[in-house]
Amino acid sequence: MKIYHAPNSRSVRAIWLFEELGFPYDLEIFPLGDPKMRTPEYLKVHPMGRVPAVTDGDITIFESGAIVQYILTKYGEGRFQPTADSPTFPDYLQWLHYAEGMLMPPVNIIVVETLFLPEERRNQTNVDRATKLLSRMLSAVERGLEGRDYLIGGFSGADIMTGHACIVSARLGGNISDKPNVSAYIDRLQARPALQRAWAVK
């Protein structure tokens, strides 16, 4: 299988997943914003010219949550994903999708306003609103982690998705000073060798 990756992007999730599973993979690496991601050839892989994308033979998947679910369902052999009849399955689905549904929208606003837009076009009001909303979204994770090391107890694909989003959120100013569970969770995730290897891919 092949992973299309840009450092410090959502594609870290795909590499992290493969590293946790011990699966081999090929890589194609782009700098963020690389014009090659807008070429007709790459747009056949990812129609938005973004990362991640994973190819598995004739199959291409380009949404990080779908990648996690596809790989674990097809190849995981029960690892990092509960069965549908497990009592943890509803929580697993919730946290698997919480990253993109709740945490990443305000993160996207902060990234655009502070990194991508030229200074004269930036809007601090948008940043302030997004940062406040992000802190609220992290509060739900704080409650979800009460008494747990990971979101459903043991490490799972939900942690690859929402855990990664928590790390990025904290880096971009999401308030975790009053969220000891989230803070410890981030430290716990960052200590995982598979994630360390994923961050190191440049």
pLDDT digit string, tens, across residues 69-99 = 999 999 999 999 999 999 999 999 999 999 9
CA atoms of 46 and 64, how far apart (whole Å): 12
For the chain, what percent of residues have pLDDT higher than 90? 97
CA atoms of 119 and 174, how far apart (whole Å): 21
Residue for token pair 């596809």: 70
CA atoms of 56 and 41, how far apart (whole Å): 17
Cα-Cα-Cα-Cα dihedral sign, residues 38, 42, 43, 46:
negative
For residue 10, the SS3 value is coil
Instruction: Provide the residue count of the chain.
Output: 202
| 17 pLDDT higher than 90 | yes
Give the model's pLDDT for residue 33: 86
| 32 pLDDT higher than 90 | no
DSSP string computed for 41-98: HHHTT-TTS-S-EEEETTEEE--HHHHHHHHHHHH-TTTTS--TTSTTHHHHHHHHHH
Question: Residue 122 belongs to what H/E stretch?
Answer: none
- Delineate the domains of the chain, giving CATH numbers in brackets: 2-80 (3.40.30.10), 89-192 (1.20.1050.10)
For residue 152, the SS3 value is strand
CA atoms of 190 and 49, how far apart (whole Å): 28
| 199 pLDDT higher than 90 | yes
Q: How many CB atoms lie within 10 A of CB 157?
A: 28
| 138 pLDDT higher than 90 | yes
